[in-house]
Chains A and B, each alone.
Chain A
Amino acid sequence: MKKFLVLLLFITTSGFAQENKKFEKAMEKNLTLLNDAKTGEDYTNVANAFERIAKAETKEWLPSYYEAFALILSANDVSDGTKKDAVLDKAMEVAKAAEAISPDNSEIVTLQSWITSMKISVDPMNRGQKLGMEASVLTSRAIELDPENPRPYLLQGTGLFYTPEQFGGGKDKAQKVLEKAVEKFNSFKPKNKLMPDWGKERAMSLLEECKK
Chain B
Amino acid sequence: MRPLLNLYAILILFPVTALSQTTISGRITDAKNQPVAGANVTIKDSYDGASADANGSYKFSTSDEGDVIVVASMVGFTSAEKRLHLSGGEVVVNFNLKEASNELNTVTITAGAFEASDEKKMVILSPLDIVTTASAVGDIYGALQTLPGAQPTQEQEGLFVRGGDASEAKTLIDGMLVANPYFSSVPDVPQRGRFSPFLFKGTNFSTGGYSAQYGQAMSSVLVLESEDLPPRSMGNIALMTVGGGGGYTKRWENTSLGANATYINLAPYFAVMKQNRDWDSPPQSFSGSLVFRQKTSETGMLKAFMNYQYSDLSLNYPNIDDVTNNSKMHFGLNNYNIFSMLSYKEVLDKKWTLNLAGSYSKDLSRVRPSPQSLVFSNQLWQARGSVAHSLGELSVIRAGAEVQYNPFSNLYNNYRIDSTELYSAVFLEGDAYITRKLVARAGLRVENSYLLRASNIAPRLSVAYKLGKYDQLNFAYGDFYQTPDRNYLIQTNLDHFEKATHYILNYQYVDEKRTFRIEGYYKLYHNLVRIKKPVSNPYQPVFAEDSKGKGYARGVDVFWRDKKTLKYTDYWISYSYIDAKRMYLYYYPEELQPTFTSNHIVNVVWKRWFPKLRSSFGFTYAYASGRPYYKVDESNILSDRAHDYHNLSITANYLTTIYKYFTVVSLTVGNVAGFDNVYTYNYSSDGLRRNAIGPTSKRTIFLGVFINIGRDDDTE
Contact = CB atoms under 8 A, between A and B. Distances in A.
B512 A126 contact: no
Nearest to A82: B104
Interface in A100-127: 122-123, 125-127
Task: Give the top 9 A-B pairs by smallest Cβ distance, nearest first.
Answer: A48-B40, A44-B38, A133-B231, A45-B51, A52-B42, A134-B231, A48-B51, A52-B49, A126-B126
A28 interface: no
Given A81-B121, A166-B656, A18 B48 contact: no
B351 interface: no
Contacts of B609: 125
Interface in A124-154: 125-127, 130, 133-134, 136-137, 139-140
B121 A87 contact: no
Contacts of A14: 12
Interface in A168-200: 168, 173, 176-177
A166 B75 contact: no
Interface residues of B, number: 45
A41 interface: yes
Given A4-B4, A49-B47, A125-B128, 6 more contacts: A18-B12, A45-B38, A48-B40, A56-B46, A122-B121, A130-B231
B713 A140 contact: yes
B714 A11 contact: no
A82 B37 contact: no
A52 B48 contact: yes
B253 to A, nearest CB: 11
Contacts of B47: 22, 26, 49, 52-53, 56
B25 to A, nearest CB: 16
A2 B42 CA distance: 42
Contact of B714 (A4, A55, A86, A140): A140
B51 A86 contact: no
Contacts of B118: 126-127, 130
Contacts of B8: 7, 10-11
Contacts of B232: 133, 136-137
B76 interface: yes
A173 B49 contact: no
Interface in B600-627: 609, 614
B11 interface: yes
Interface string B499-514: 0000000000000100
Contacts of A127: 118
B67 interface: no
Interface string A13-35: 01100110010001000000000
Contacts of A126: 118, 126, 128
Contacts of B657: 166-168
A3 B8 CA distance: 13
Interface centre among A41, A51, A168, A173 (most CB of B within 10 A): A168
B579 to A, nearest CB: 37
Interface in B28-49: 37-38, 40, 42, 44-49
B45 A82 contact: no
A73 interface: no
B44 A11 contact: no
B702 interface: no
B715 interface: yes
A141 to B, nearest CB: 10
B19 interface: no
Contacts of A51: 40, 42, 73
B15 A52 contact: no
B167 to A, nearest CB: 34
Q: Which of A11, A51, A82, A87 has the most CB of B within 10 A?
A: A82
A139 B45 CA distance: 34
A159 to B, nearest CB: 9
A56 B50 CA distance: 15
Contact of A166 (B38, B121, B126, B614): B614
Q: Is chain A's interface secondary structure helix, strand, loop, or mixed overall?
A: helix
Given A48-B38, A156-B714, A137 B121 contact: no
A65 to B, nearest CB: 16
A81 B122 CA distance: 11
Place the interface of chain A in its size category. 35 or more
A22 B121 CA distance: 43
A167 B710 CA distance: 12
A82 B713 contact: no
A83 interface: yes
B40 A52 contact: yes
Given A41-B38, A82-B512, A173-B715, A167 B12 contact: no
Interface string A40-73: 0100110011011101100000000000000000
Given A86-B76, A127-B118, A156-B714, A167 B42 contact: no
A79 to B, nearest CB: 11
Given A56-B47, A86-B102, A123-B121, A168 B660 contact: yes
A167 B662 contact: yes
Interface string B466-488: 00000000000000000000000
A4 B3 CA distance: 12
Contacts of A15: 11-12, 15
Nearest to B1: A3
Contacts of A85: 121
B668 to A, nearest CB: 19
Q: Which of A52, A56, A164 is the most central at the interface, judged by chain B CB atoms within 10 Å of its CB? A: A52
A126 B712 CA distance: 22
Contacts of A139: 714
A200 B47 CA distance: 30
Contacts of A160: 715
A48 B454 CA distance: 63
A55 to B, nearest CB: 7
Nearest to A135: B231
A50 to B, nearest CB: 10
Nearest to B41: A48
B56 to A, nearest CB: 13
Nearest to B713: A140
A38 to B, nearest CB: 15
Contact of A11 (B11, B51, B614): B11
Contacts of A11: 8, 11-12
Contacts of A167: 655, 657, 662
A133 B710 contact: yes
Nearest to A58: B45
Identify which of A83, A136, A156 gathers the most chain B CB atoms within 10 Å of its CB.
A136
A52 B121 CA distance: 31
B118 to A, nearest CB: 5
30 contacts: A4-B4, A18-B15, A18-B16, A22-B16, A41-B37, A44-B38, A44-B51, A48-B38, A48-B50, A49-B49, A51-B40, A52-B42, A52-B46, A81-B121, A82-B121, A83-B75, A83-B76, A85-B121, A86-B102, A123-B121, A125-B128, A126-B118, A126-B128, A133-B232, A136-B714, A140-B713, A166-B614, A168-B657, A168-B660, A168-B712
B254 to A, nearest CB: 14
A21 to B, nearest CB: 9
A212 to B, nearest CB: 20
Contacts of A18: 12, 15-16
A23 B655 CA distance: 52
B90 interface: no
A177 B715 contact: yes
A139 B694 CA distance: 54
Given A85-B121, A87-B75, A137 B128 contact: no
- Which of B50, B713, B715 counts the most chain A CB atoms within 10 A? B715
B495 to A, nearest CB: 49
A3 B1 CA distance: 10
A187 to B, nearest CB: 21
A39 to B, nearest CB: 11
Contact of A55 (B44, B614, B710): B44
A193 to B, nearest CB: 18
